[in-house]
Structure 1
Amino acid sequence: MNSHDSRAPGHRSKRPTRRQRAQTAKSGPAGADVHTPDGVRLQKVLAEAGLGSRRACEQLIADGRVAVDGEIVTELGTRVDPRTQRVEVDTMPITAQTGRVYLAFNKPARMVTSMDDPEGRRDLSEVVRDRPERLFHVGRLDFDTEGLLLLTNDGDVANRLTHPRYEIQKTYLAQVKGPVARDVGARLREGIELEDGLARVDSFKLLDSTPGTALVEVTLHSGRNRIVRRLFDAVGNPVERLVRTKFGPIELAEQRQGKLRDLRPDEVAKLFEAVGL
């Protein structure tokens, strides 16, 4: 250990004392509440700014070394908006990465969920070609399925959203060939044995029924290939049209088909919460 090592005996550390950190805290509004419910967890902001692992950043907070808008923060559940709030570690301001993007796309039918289709069909490259980020899609929608698709350059969030451990639910509207038997909902909830194992839905609703066709809503957390279509084939109600309307906490709502939009800060916060970030 050399004489310039901050751990050496007698070395004068640049880390501020507890009194200095307390004085920093007093510089902000007395008793100010810096928590932003729709923001990002403070430890994630610190980690993305290069301050260490998530666990190491949690320790910085617990040690009273992190201030937000001049207020020392020790609560690990604190959320902040790094775009509008000043975050400091040991009185030094940090700059959070702002390059993370989270997008919702209303995919039309007859488009491949790929950035490059070798068969020359429409793909996602036509939607994102003008964006500077390297984006990738979260999960897939098959060629004929429409609706909500998430895109991001945040690999951590994308991996968690598709990992079976987190059981992220997806909701679909399906127009199926009718009539739909009374026991179909119960059968789908109990589980259907498919060629790759048992599959089931979390919920089933019959929304409308006319001679020869029916409109149903199903929610499930399985990410297996063409799972909704295969389930309805198995119960004798082939899908004629399929639209994903919700992915985890994100809803398609009134977003126009073929349009791409940035998720709102509160939607991003809900995504983080859904996958434990």
Structure 2
Amino acid sequence: MTQAGRQGSPRSGSGRNLPQRNTSGGSAGGGSRGGAAKRSTGFGGDRPHRAPKPREERFVDPDEAGARQGRGATDKPAKPSSRKPSARKPGAKKAPGTPGAPKAKPRTAVPGAAASRAFGSERFGQNLGPLRKPSRRKGPGRDVPQSELHDADGIRLQKVMASAGVASRRVCEEMIAEGRVEVDGQVVTELGVRVDPKTAVIHVDGLRIQLDENLVYMVFNKPKGVVSTMEDPEGRPCISDFLKNTKNKGERLFHVGRLDVATEGLLLLTNDGELANRLTHPSYEVPKTYLVQVRGPFPHGIGAQLKAGVELEDGLASVDSFRLVDSTPGHVLIEVVLHSGKNRIVRRMFDAVGFPVQRLVRVKVGPIGLGDQRQGSIRNLGKQEIGHLLASVGL
């Protein structure tokens, strides 16, 4: 270090650095600022700038640290564990699912982690709530040995699940070991089970995995003035007009339920005939949610009357729930939920209580909702949504 450098950093007798007074006026102050700028940018000065090396933090075992804290810092270090490493266990090098291989231990997943749920990385279907299953009585079940579920010519169960997009193969293996997977109604916990994807019915956490890639499930947000048919002899806008820009154009699809020309909202489109039949069958009681706009003010007691039931020309009709959403001068917005699929049922019920419908939008069918989907658009259902929809009708 130069003489100027030694003078710039005097050391007291106690060994601490003391700041040096500026006795040379403004020029010295300017020089000091310039030197500080050079040092801060890493350029100039009498020695090259060297970035400090990052400190390597030593790994501390929590158990060992807790033991040391209890013993005190002066005690001797703890003896190494006498447990054998996992590599020395019998069958440790064998593939999972083979005879003699150790069983996979269930891993406790972090609550809410996307990897611990079936199809957890999908955009749609994250907040569909618990599975809704129809309250239908089933016959006595029969416990089937897992050996009978095994198909020697089939594909490993975890590979079928991973190919269907459930999760990675490692996570699928953990799901199987934790007893979260069913094949043909039977819980499977063995990793070596092989299944036929064409015939096996697989559920993960109650969600049905649809393995048939030819089946299509879509949501259409129908605008006002569109007819709920694939073709209209009068030339009015219909559903097929909105399918022209999709890859499913020309394919025969069923529209689940109907909406009259003036009603807007959700229509399900699919080529799964069994699902379409169950969704429209009254015994499964699939709920449908509507937003109803009527003139205001809306007197008290009408909602209770709609829940108790009003007499129509084809019998008594009622809503499952009634909720006032918004009220503005001259208009009232109401949400009603009902499972009846009768023609124009919502409009007829509100006509019966003296409040004709001004605007009607269906926003939900079973677990599937429109969300922020724009009018006239069609989107494919996510696999979580398909699983919830199939579970709602017992598939």
Aligning the two structures, in what range does the TM-score lie when normalised by the shorter sequence?
0.7 to 0.9
Cα offset for 1:213? 1.9
Does the CA-based 8 Å contact 2:96-2:192 persist in structure 1? no
* Structure 2 SS opposite 1:272: helix
* Structure 2 SS opposite 1:134: coil
Cα offset for 1:92? 7.1
Equivalent pairs, count: 230
CA separation of 1:76/1:239 partners in 2, compared to 1, >3 Å: closer, same or farther?
farther
Give the 5 Å matches for 1:67-106: 67-69=156-158, 78=181, 91=194, 94=197, 96-106=211-221
TM-score scaled by structure 1? 0.73
- Unpaired runs of at least 5, structure 2: 1-94, 107-115, 121-142, 160-172, 184-190, 199-210
Does the CA-based 8 Å contact 1:107-1:146 persist in structure 2? yes
Q: Which residue of 2 aligns with 1:55?
A: none
CA separation of 1:92/1:245 partners in 2, compared to 1, >3 Å: closer, same or farther?
closer
CA separation of 1:77/1:240 partners in 2, compared to 1, >3 Å: closer, same or farther?
same
Which protein has greater RCO, CA pairs closer than 8 Å, 6+ apart?
Answer: 1
Q: Which residue of 2 aligns with 1:115?
A: 230
Could you tell me how far apart the structure 1 residues matched to 2:356 and 2:321 are? 18
Find out whether 1:216 has 2:334 as its counterpart. yes
Report Cα offsets for 1:109-130 as digits up to 9, x if no partner: 0000001112211101102245
Q: Which residue of 2 aligns with 1:26?
A: 98
CA separation of 1:213/1:94 partners in 2, compared to 1, >3 Å: closer, same or farther?
closer
CA separation of 1:30/1:186 partners in 2, compared to 1, >3 Å: closer, same or farther?
same
Could you tell me how far apart the structure 2 residues matched to 1:30 and 1:253 are? 43
CA separation of 1:118/1:76 partners in 2, compared to 1, >3 Å: closer, same or farther?
farther
Between Structure 1 and Structure 2, whose CA radius of gyration is higher? 2
CA separation of 1:152/1:92 partners in 2, compared to 1, >3 Å: closer, same or farther?
closer
Does the CA-based 8 Å contact 2:96-2:104 persist in structure 1? no
Cα offset for 1:243? 0.5
Could you tell me how far apart the structure 2 residues matched to 1:150 and 1:258 are? 13
Does the CA-based 8 Å contact 1:172-1:217 persist in structure 2? yes
Cα offset for 1:153? 0.4
TM-score scaled by structure 2? 0.52
Does the CA-based 8 Å contact 1:37-1:79 persist in structure 2? no
CA separation of 1:219/1:91 partners in 2, compared to 1, >3 Å: closer, same or farther?
closer
Q: Which residue of 1 aligns with 2:148?
A: 63
Q: 2:356 aligns with which of 233, 238, 241?
A: 238
Find out whether 1:274 has 2:389 as its counterpart. no
Cα offset for 1:26? 2.6
Cα offset for 1:94? 4.0
Does the CA-based 8 Å contact 1:61-1:76 persist in structure 2? no
Q: Which residue of 2 aligns with 1:193?
A: 311
Does the CA-based 8 Å contact 1:208-1:216 persist in structure 2? yes
Could you tell me how far apart the structure 2 residues matched to 1:200 and 1:92 are? 46
Could you tell me how far apart the structure 2 residues matched to 1:207 and 1:241 are? 14
CA separation of 1:236/1:89 partners in 2, compared to 1, >3 Å: closer, same or farther?
farther
Cα offset for 1:69? 2.3
Counterpart amino acid of residue 157 in structure 2: V
Q: Percent identity?
A: 52
Q: Which has the higher strand share?
A: 1
Q: Which runs of 4+ in 1 moved over 6 A?
A: 73-77
Does the CA-based 8 Å contact 2:266-2:365 persist in structure 1? yes
Provide the aligned C-alpha RMSD in A.
3.3
Report Cα offsets for 1:156-187 as digits up to 9, x if no partner: 11111111111000001111122211001100
Q: Which residue of 2 aligns with 1:46?
A: none
